[in-house]
Structure 1
């Protein structure tokens, strides 16, 4: 993130200002004393800030070298200080010429847009802008000149992608929707079970045998589904699919009922360790 940005800034400074008379290679920390000769550039990030946006905590999809990745992204703006620390023998003219070269180099369009900072790797940042702010002599260090630049961009922690076992095959099951479900289903309280045939067009590609599950909607449904709950998702009960692709859902009406009601039944396709796939919604009118 910021450390990588500061390091990249130092590399960019060295590349863009190579050959400038008296200008030494940049460093990222203030020296204990002035150099013996030449002008020492010192580059530092001196502050950052972010707008306190609410709801921006979710990782964002970033285009990274080699593909896409999720990253926790901080939208930051900040300030970079570039100090020019001269040796005692450096004249004021040489000092100002170094400043001129610095300002011209960092006025280039690709620097101002932030594109020059990209190097093809995941550095943990992507700049949207880099601009010169001001330059002035340091009151606490006579002879030193500081140029400041403002920057803005996205910053995120660099980390290796999580790795898992290679995917050798993906079992799949194709279901033609909607399934065949009878209409106008009616059951009577105290009466026999209602057999509801659900016709499915199932085509398996390396998947196991199909399993249809169902559950009653609502907190107090009028009736029950006497299927096989073993291995079914919570709240569901299972029903086998015969060789003709028909699952027969069994609805058992209540023993008594004070007034007519409707029982809603959700039918889904289930698989071991997988989420259910909704297939149909069935409504049974239950009479007293």
Structure 2
């Protein structure tokens, strides 16, 4: 943070929504992935920590807007920031944090700022596609969905690696591995959102019934066209599933019915097979890149999608 920023007397108050969301601790999978890439890149510790601080600003600043766009009232059992601080201040805090991150990137290396702006624009485009399909109630094809994932998730990972490579002697092209990892990460996240029934009992604030109901199968309440939904629309159960999705229901029984229909349609099994294939592809590419024990550990952690009891670990 620049001296001008650090001396601004209202900085803490203006960033209250950001500090609020920082209290919500997930499994920190994104941090593990960055550290795994650094096993290859060997970036000096001071540059690595500085970069992690910037990526944390971008990620959490983005979550502030995500929760508004998705009309989420909770995040991992805690009230969403905009429900506590209101929409205007939360939107302002997200913009504030993003510009602080950009300032840090340009301070670190002007090329880092250019890399960030290039790839983060792709992230925003990917997010925009998902919102357009949801709000216009337009079901994308699987190919269109994969393109969205490549932009929304893959571009974020590519941004991280290209930034770190500015401070590394390792200039290996990891684009193919990142493409596979980004697709795996996002589809896994979507799958876990729909298969977390048993995990709700293990969430923080589990006694808060309203919070639990809001967290259960959030993607159905949002009306999100995830891979299982897209696949299901080709089956005879698709009409019922589409009808439930259109309602954006908060009724747990209706959402359970939708999940059972997705299972009956073979759409959850189809998604599981996609995840198995992506896991194999990621490990094959990892082997081609001469291996990485930290990245192998990440892939092992990501396999928690196979156990519903671990599904609360799916958010990174």
TM-score normalized with structure 2 length:
0.21
Q: Which has the higher strand share?
A: 1
**Relative contact order higher in (CA < 8 Å, ≥ 6 apart):** 2
